[in-house]
Amino acid sequence: MKLVVLACVVTLALAAPRPDETAETLVDERSDSGDGNFNYNFETSNGIYEERVGTPGEEGQSNMGGTIRFTLPDGTLAEIVFVADAAGYRPESPLIPTPHPLPAHAIEQIAFAEEQRRLGVEVDK
């Protein structure tokens, strides 16, 4: 049994992706004003790109927005545009899975419940 586990671990280690050791940094621009405002731009020769802008938030958090791009193993360019603020981290990308749409009867039930709530109907729990 131990031999099987060891073989699996070795196989996973050998199959793990390796970073491109020949990649060079093409762009590395950073600016930080010290008051919570910053920007960052980074790009490598193997297609990794990130730009980020940050500002201080009203609730003490850092608000950020930016773009991340990299090439997937199949050659597809992946791009993620994101915002991170008091409302949380919100990435957008066609590569991020989305839930299936709700069936019509579920949408009708939600609309009915919202209407009942609007009318002040209370349900005993």
Helices and strands, counts by H and E, the chain: 2, 6
Q: Tens place of pLDDT for every residue, the chain, 125 residues? A: 444 444 445 454 555 455 556 889 999 999 999 898 999 999 999 889 999 999 999 888 889 999 999 998 998 899 999 999 999 999 999 988 888 888 999 999 999 999 999 999 888 77
Which secondary structure element, helix H or strand E, spans residue 105, and what is its range?
helix 104-118
Distance of alpha carbon 120 from alpha carbon 107, whole angstroms: 20
Specify the pTM.
Answer: 0.61
Distance of alpha carbon 66 from alpha carbon 84, whole angstroms: 9
